[in-house]
């Protein structure tokens, strides 16, 4: 079985985003960029399935600028076998990303496509579900555990009320949640080896996908800022404050 793992290059999760003064977006100049953390979890899970003998090949895919090659090299250094960059400098919406991934899936015929549940930049939480719809295949979103069982994959999902387990006929789409695993760091020898792995560069047009945006962002603003309040001396002072608020 082959596993496709789409990965996105995003602002590093430790960086506090700054809104541009002209309201056109978030300032990404000279900001540290990394692989979307949920995608790292997806790469890790694919590698673990391969190590367990459940998968033969892992193909990492990114849709984005030339710099996304770095993100793909990270996936390769972690243990993906080869990579495809669908290069574009345009901002590509989840629907168009899903269309590109569908076209790649038609060529590659994977048993699983494993994606992060959301990207921490646009926080859309859409791509995996959209891909599943376009491929007319089942989806196991917000995965907490993933287990291959013959022609099926059993996914335990993190839902608002707790956990839910579903059984999906493969090919299937899985999106990762935080508790699925703890991604490994790439070792130095593996980073060196990753440089020699194959990385194909394509364009959205190669897959016949129109990436024109459906949503126009007319403004990006700072959220209302909260002012820090006051610090109280001790528990007694806190109790007084809470009583004044009408609690307790």
Partner 1 sequence: MKTLVLVEHDNQSMKDATLSVVTAASKLGEVHLLVAGSSCDAVAQEAAKVAGVGKVHVADDPAYEHGLAENVAPLIAGLMDHHDAFLAPATTTGKNIAPRVAAMLDVMQISDILSVEGEKTFTRPIYAGNAIATVESSDDKLVITVRGTAFDKAEAEGGSAEIEAIGGPGDAGVSSFVSADLAEGGDRPELTSANIIVSGGRALKDGETFEKIITPLADKLGAGIGASRAAVDAGYVPNDYQVGQTGKIVAPEVYIAIGISGAIQHLAGMKDSKTIIAINKDEDAPIFQVADIGLVADLYKAVPELTEKL
Ligand X SMILES: Cc1cc2nc3c(=O)[nH]c(=O)nc-3n(C[C@H](O)[C@H](O)[C@H](O)COP(=O)(O)OP(=O)(O)OC[C@H]3O[C@@H](n4cnc5c(N)ncnc54)[C@H](O)[C@@H]3O)c2cc1C
Site for ligand X in 95-154 (CB under 6 A): 120
Among 19, 33, 37, 199, which residue interacts with ligand X (rule: CB under 6 A)? 37
The yes or no reply on residue 210 touching partner 1 (CB under 8 A) is: no
**Residues 98-157 within binding reach of partner 1 (CB under 8 A):** 98, 117-118, 120-134, 137-139, 141-142, 144, 154, 157
Give 136: exposed, middle or buried? Use CB within 10 Å, 0-12, 13-18, 19+: exposed
Stretch that binds partner 1, among 66-74, 169-177, 183-191, 198-206 (CB under 8 A): 169-177
Chain residues 5-34 in contact with ligand X, contact rule CB under 6 A: 13
Give me 241's structure tokens.
């404050």
Q: How many CB atoms lie within 10 A of CB 213?
A: 12
Residues in the chain: 248
For ligand X, the closer CB: 37 or 65:
37
Nearer to partner 1, 11 or 84 (CB): 11
Q: How many CB atoms lie within 10 A of CB 206?
A: 15
- Distance (Å, rounded) from C-alpha 70 to C-alpha 33? 10
Residue 171: is the preceding peptide bond cis (ω within 30°)? yes
Nearer to partner 1, 10 or 83 (CB): 10
CB of 178 to ligand X, least distance (A): 6
Q: Is 35 in the site for partner 1 (CB under 8 A)?
A: no
Minimal CA–CA distance to 59: which of 135, 131, 132, 115? 115
Residue 10 Rama label (left phi>0; alpha psi -120 to 50; beta): beta
60 binds partner 1 (CB under 8 A): no
Assess contact for 116 and 132: CB atoms under 8 A.
no
176 lines the binding site for partner 1 (CB under 8 A): no
Q: How far apart are the first and last CA of the chain?
A: 59
In whole angstroms, the minimum distance from the beta carbon of 125 to ligand X comes to 12
Pairing, β 112-116 against β 82-87: unpaired
Tell me if 21 contacts partner 1 by CB under 8 A.
Answer: no
Is there binding between residue 31 and partner 1 (CB under 8 A)?
no
Q: Which is nearer to partner 1, 69 or 118 (CB)?
A: 118
Nearer to partner 1, 30 or 216 (CB): 216
- For binding to ligand X (CB under 6 A), which residues are involved? 13, 37-38, 120
């Amino acid at each position: 079985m082959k596993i496709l793992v789409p990965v996105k290059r995003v602002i590093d999760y430790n960086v506090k985003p700054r809104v541009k003064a002209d309201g056109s977006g978030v300032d990404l100049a000279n900001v540290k960029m990394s692989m979307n953390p949920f995608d790292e979890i997806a790469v890790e899970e694919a590698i673990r399935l391969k190590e367990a003998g459940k998968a033969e090949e892992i193909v990492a895919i990114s849709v984005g600028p030339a710099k996304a090659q770095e993100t793909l090299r990270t996936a390769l250094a972690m243990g993906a076998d080869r990579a495809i960059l669908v290069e574009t400098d345009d901002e590509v919406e989840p629907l168009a990303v899903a269309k590109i991934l569908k076209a790649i899936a038609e060529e590659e015929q994977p048993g699983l496509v494993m994606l992060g549940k959301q990207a921490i930049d646009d926080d859309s939480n859409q791509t995996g579900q959209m891909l599943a719809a376009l491929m007319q295949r089942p989806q196991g979103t917000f995965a907490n555990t993933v287990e291959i069982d013959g022609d099926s994959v059993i996914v335990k999902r993190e839902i608002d009320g707790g956990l839910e387990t579903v059984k999906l006929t493969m090919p299937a789409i899985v999106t990762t949640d935080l508790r699925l695993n703890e991604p490994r760091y790439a070792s130095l020898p593996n980073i060196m080896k990753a440089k020699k792995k194959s990385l194909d560069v394509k364009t959205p047009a190669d897959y016949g996908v129109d990436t024109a945006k459906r949503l126009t962002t007319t403004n990006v603003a700072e959220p209302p800022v909260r002012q820090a309040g006051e610090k109280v001396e001790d528990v007694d002072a806190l109790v007084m404050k809470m009583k004044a608020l009408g609690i307790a």
